[in-house]
Chain A
Amino acid sequence: MTSSPVKVLYIDDEENNLLAFKASFRRQYEIYTAISAAEGLKILQNISVEVIIADQKMPETTGVEFFKSISKNYPDPIRILLTGYTDITALADAINHGDIYRYITKPWNDLELHNSIKNAHDAYKAKIDLRNKVRELEKTNDELNRFIYSISHELRAPLVSVIGIVNLVKMEGLFNSSGEYWELIESCSVKLDYYIQKTLQYYKNNKNLSDKAEINFPKLVEEIIQEYSPNEPDTKFNVSINQTEPFYGDTFRIEVILGNLISNAIKYQKEEAGAKLVDISIHVSMISAEIIIKDNGLGILNEHLDKIFTQFFKAKNNRGSGLGLFIVKEALNKIGGTISVSSAVNQGTTFKINIPNAS
């Protein structure tokens, strides 16, 4: 592998030193010299230098002052400070503020300086490599997210067509014409759709952007109940919402949290139809929204309680994806909320959520 020589900038107010440096190192490096900090800056503006060596004792601007001044606009080049005498304050300043890689005393020893430049260049390369790797990873991650997002949408469109066909079959009175086959097709399609929806929710939640909008809890809860209750007409909802303060938060995540919890409360009910109840109580203050969602359903075994927020954990076979509560937890993490759960088998489950008000 051929690589271009390392670009080194040397700043010193003594012309002789600049000449000596050039003479010693011009075969190994691409050398730029400057007689003052101001001249050095001009070179930096035009050439992407990898290693900078600066003399400490210069009129107008010292070496450390120069390093400090360029730390914001030129953070990448590795800095080596050169000084004629061991000035302890300069040394402390250099370490604390100048982001110095090496400190070399004058007169320099060619071999020592050469090794230092070589090491500095390695450090420079490692720094750039790491940054490129991070950038690459971010890009791959982003692409993966986008891929999952669009493939989920693409998968969902034909699936929704299948569900539409099943609806047509029902309307035409053919649903029971082939034994239970249509019913099986319907339940498989609905289940697949559920998985796709949860996947989308998960990836959407993974994205970091979060919007801050005013949330109207009474309206939101009503919409969610309307969305999930049509298939469970005998579930009774007690909704009590106390919202006098405006609440600001991430609409998508709050909708995901309430949607998953309310649909769970509807779904995990006892087989024998009793009075199926879902209590939703929300209290909004300037600081946060306290939400309690309580059902009188199946409940959760005590030993399962600490696992329900884990990915793909399913307490009941054949129902749900093991993603709902995991997504709830992830979404709460992103917006600084908390959740706690208490449950008794066959008596019901209560989730308590706290979401900070971002107003």
Chain B
Amino acid sequence: MPANLNTKPIIMLVDDNIIDLKINSKLIEITGMFSEIIACKSGQEALHYFSSSANQADKLPTLILLDIQMPEMDGFEFLEHYKKFPSAFKEKCAVAMLSSTLDFGDIQRAQANPHVIKLMKKPLQLIDLKKLAGNRS
């Protein structure tokens, strides 16, 4: 567990939809729950962020909100990469999926994935986010 309780955690958003990225960033910003919001337009961008800041623990998010349907690398493919990360990292940095999908298959897959702590439906609801962050702290 991070030692410094005074700094607020960091959150990462992974979503190819720039409008949703903007809406959700703004919404999270208003809550003031997080010190920093890392907005990534693709899974690759997120992975790149991790590889470039792997040695700086203070730059890593504690929560990733991951979209499911994205071109090239979708949410599940991103999770395949995430799976291979060291367990200390996964412990600190949890993944919740955030999607507008109503596809039963996607929903079941997300719920069955051991690395996904929660599947949230778009639009992002403040209550859901607070609950999630509350459970994590």
Interface residues of A (CB under 8 A from B): 153, 156-158, 160-161, 163-165, 167-168, 171-172, 197, 200, 204, 251-252
Q: Which residue of B has the minimal Cβ distance to A201? A: B102
CB contact between B27 and one of A157, A158, A164, A204 (< 8 Å): that residue = A164
Q: Are A252 and B104 in contact (CB under 8 A)?
A: yes
Q: Are B101 and A153 in contact (CB under 8 A)?
A: yes
In the complex, what distance in Å separates the CA atom of A157 from the CA atom of B20? 9
Question: CB-CB < 8 A to A168: which residues of B?
Answer: 23, 26-27, 30
Q: Which residue of A has the minimal Cβ distance to B67? A: A157
Question: CB-CB < 8 A to B123: which residues of A?
Answer: 160-161, 163-164, 167
CB contact between A167 and one of B19, B27, B69, B104 (< 8 Å): that residue = B27
In the complex, what distance in Å separates the CA atom of A156 from the CA atom of B20? 13
**Apart from A157-B122, A161-B122, what 4 extra A-B contacts exist at CB < 8 Å?**
A161-B20, A164-B23, A171-B27, A172-B30
Interface size, B (range): 10 to 19
Interface of A is mostly: helix
Question: CB-CB < 8 A to A167: which residues of B?
Answer: 27, 123-126
In the complex, what distance in Å separates the CA atom of A167 from the CA atom of B23? 9
Q: Are B23 and A157 in contact (CB under 8 A)?
A: no
- Determine which residue in A156, A160, A200 has the highest number of CB atoms from chain B within 10 A of its CB, and name it: A160
Tell whether B100 is near chain A: CB-to-CB under 8 Å.
yes
Asked, given contacts A160-B123, A172-B30, whether A165 binds B23 with beta carbons under 8 Å apart, the answer is yes
* 3 closest cross-chain pairs (CB), A and B: A164-B123, A160-B100, A164-B23
Q: Are A164 and B17 in contact (CB under 8 A)?
A: no
Q: Which residue of A has the minimal Cβ distance to B31? A: A171
Within 2-57 of B, Cβ neighbours of A (below 8 Å) are at: 17, 19-20, 23-24, 26-27, 30
Q: Could you jot down 22 A-B contacts, CB within 8 Å?
A: A153-B69, A153-B101, A153-B103, A157-B17, A157-B69, A157-B100, A160-B100, A161-B17, A161-B19, A161-B20, A161-B123, A164-B23, A164-B24, A164-B27, A164-B122, A164-B123, A165-B23, A167-B125, A168-B26, A171-B126, A197-B102, A204-B104
User: Shortest beta-carbon distance, B26 to chain A, in Å?
Assistant: 6
Q: Which residue of B has the minimal Cβ distance to A252? A: B104
User: Shortest beta-carbon distance, A84 to chain B, in Å?
Assistant: 63
Question: CB-CB < 8 A to B27: which residues of A?
Answer: 164, 167-168, 171
CB contact between B20 and one of A153, A164, A171 (< 8 Å): that residue = A164
User: Shortest beta-carbon distance, A259 to chain B, in Å?
Assistant: 12
Asked, given contacts A153-B102, A172-B30, A197-B102, whether A161 binds B23 with beta carbons under 8 Å apart, the answer is yes
In the complex, what distance in Å separates the CA atom of A171 from the CA atom of B126? 10
Q: Are A160 and B122 in contact (CB under 8 A)?
A: yes
What 0/1 pattern do residues 60 to 74 of B give for CB contact below 8 A with A? 000000000100000
Question: CB-CB < 8 A to B17: which residues of A?
Answer: 157, 161
In the complex, what distance in Å separates the CA atom of A143 from the CA atom of B19? 30
